[in-house]
Structure 1
Amino acid sequence: MSTDTITAPATTTPAAPVTPTAPAMPSVHRRALLTWLAVYPSITAAFLLLGPYLSGLPVPLRTLAMTAVVVPVVVYGVMPLLLKANARIARRASLGGRPAAR
């Protein structure tokens, strides 16, 4: 009789994948404020820069030209920056005012 012992192969279960959690959406009031903070200065700047060139056009065409410039600038440029800043501020507030560890 043999004294060798048979051991079962070690079975490992794969670890559950870690998925990053999405940052919480700001409240509707904060989103409205952030949108206003993006839109108002953008429209003002567009009027100052483009107003003299568009003054001869009828109002609907002026509005079309302004929105064709302002909407992409706000959506792709200004809002992402404001949302990142908002997330940083919210993270600091949740940490009790301490800077977040990196």
Structure 2
Amino acid sequence: MSEIEQPLRPVPPPSRHQMAAMIWIAVFPTLTLLNLLLGGLLRTTPVVVKTLVLATIAVPIVIYGLMPPLQRIRASLIRRGRRR
């Protein structure tokens, strides 16, 4: 079988360090962008309310929008490393 025809082997789950890096890569830009977009609107709100609003918006973006592509990128990098 050629390299292209071989079935994809499952990629092991990420280590704690890999997961932490992926979460940081997703969360930091998301929170930065949300702060830039909503900072003016939330300027006078208490810190706890501001944090609740930002977390309520950021968590679904990170979990459903950013983590799946990051996991696919990680899997692709691992598979590419296996071929070498």
- TM interval, shorter chain, is 0.7 to 0.9
Percentage of pairs with the same residue = 38
Structure with the bigger percentage of helix: 2
> Structure 2 length normalisation: TM-score?
0.86
1:23 Cα offset (Å)? 2.8
Residue of structure 2 in register with 1:47 after alignment: 35
SS at match of 1:53: coil
Residue of structure 2 in register with 1:75 after alignment: 63
2:25 to 37, 40, 51: 37
Question: Structure 2: which amino acid aligns with 1:57?
Answer: T
Which 5+ residue runs of structure 2 have no aligned equivalent? 1-7
> Structure 1 length normalisation: TM-score?
0.71
Greater Rg over alpha carbons, structure: 1
Question: RMSD value over aligned CA atoms?
Answer: 1.4
Moved beyond 2 Å, runs of 4+: 20-23
User: Larger RCO: Structure 1 or Structure 2 (Cα < 8 Å, ≥ 6 residues apart)?
Assistant: 2
1:56 Cα offset (Å)? 1.1
In the alignment of these two chains, the number of paired residues is 77
